[in-house]
Amino acid sequence: MNPTWKYLLDQMEIETANNVKKAVSLSLYHDSALNSLKGSYPGLVPLYDRYHPLHLSFMDGYSNLDSSGGAKQGDRVSVKLLLASSKETLVNVWLVDILKLHKKGSPRFVAILPKGMAPFNYKGIDARIKAYSTLAKNIGTEVALASTKADVTAVYDNLLAARATQTGAKTDTKDTSSVLDDLRVAAMEMQYRNLGNIMDVFFDTKEVLCPLLFDLETLRINPQTLFTGKLLGSMKKAVLAHTFVATDTFSVKATQATKLYLSITIGGTEGTFISVPENIKTTISVADFGVTDFAAHRFLTIVNEAVVAGRFTVTL
């Protein structure tokens, strides 16, 4: 069989197949560039009109994935906290009640807790939850431990419900992820179609327009993640160019107190700045720059606030 002609392969879709953040960056850039240039190039208006709804759906799907991931994390924490509190009650209350009636090692004690505390310390969450159900069953109809059995059963029911919620969150995240990938493909395919249209309508100026409309730097290479440099006293330096997302964070450490700006120009210092203290590794939230158009605000600038030279490290 003859291989597929390379020009028929959608590089936008291929290069983002396993990197949704890369697709988000490409989409932010392309949508913003179309919107910015459509006034000067009317031929871009229909391209923007058909791309923008796909972009919004993709961004919404990406936000939903982030949200469901947070929910899943919260549910996992809830189950772990509930297991911890249940274990504390088991040791300090229920075990004491049982020992008041049955000496450790006696036949009845062994019947209630045949493996001692081991089942409540198993690695698997489900095995630990099941241990409470087993304990309630082993107590059986013993009247003196009826209230203890009721408490154990109630805790088991709560653990089971929390676990079901966590499992549901995992399923929701998986489903959301599947939907997001469909949205990613739709957006990347439309970018590829837009490229074909631009190659046709703007053939004579394609070398100029394509870099303006497509984030070729992000598309072509694996982005650099570590940036280091020196700063003279009271001087500024352009650190990097990157299409951020509002939920992104990065870390900064400098030997001198510095300010950071996310600018629309290389080395720019307009807009909100973020201060970084000297010799303290600081995590920066991109949202704190107060930027809404991340396709335009792509350039990170660092300014040395001290009069002496220093060094800095930025990690994406």
Q: In this predicted structure, what is the pLDDT of residue 49?
A: 95
Q: Are residues 141 and 178 in the same domain?
A: yes
Cα–Cα–Cα angle for 110, 111, 113, rounded to 5 degrees: 60
pLDDT tens-digit readout, 25-80: 899 889 989 998 999 999 999 999 999 999 988 888 887 665 444 444 444 445 67
Query: What is the C-alpha separation between 19 and 62, in angstroms, rounded?
Result: 12
The domain that contains 255 carries what CATH number?
A: 2.60.120
- The answer to whether 286 touches 297, Cβ cutoff 8 Å, is no
CA 29 – CA 35 distance, rounded (Å): 10
- Please answer whether residues 191 and 26 qualify as being in contact, where contact means their C-beta atoms are separated by less than 8 angstroms: yes
CA 140 from chain center: how many Å?
Answer: 47
Q: Which domain holds residue 153?
A: 1-222
- 196, 255: one domain: no
> What's the pLDDT score for residue 73?
44
Cβ neighbours of residue 126 closer than 8 Å, sequence gap 6 or more: 163
Spans in the chain with pLDDT lower than 50: 67-77, 169-175
Among candidate residues 192, 222, 252, the one where a domain is terminated:
222
Task: Give the CB-side neighbour count of residue 279, counting CA atoms within 13 A.
Answer: 0
Q: Which of 175, 205, 222 is the last residue of a domain?
A: 222
- Three-state SS string across 87-128, please? HHHHHHHHHHHHHHHCCCCCHHHHHHCCCCCHHHHCCCHHHH
217 and 303, same domain (yes or no): no
Number of domains comprising the chain: 2
* Single residue among 177, 195, 222 that ends a domain in this structure: 222
Q: Please provide residue 274's backbone torsions phi and psi, each rounded to the nearest 5 degrees.
A: -120, 130
Both tokens of 269, joined, read 């210092």
Query: Do 197 and 89 fall within a single domain?
Result: yes
Contacts of 289 (CB under 8 A, 6+ apart): 261, 262, 271, 272, 274, 297
- Indicate yes or no: pTM above 0.75: no
User: Is 225 in contact with 316 (CB distance < 8 Å)?
Assistant: yes
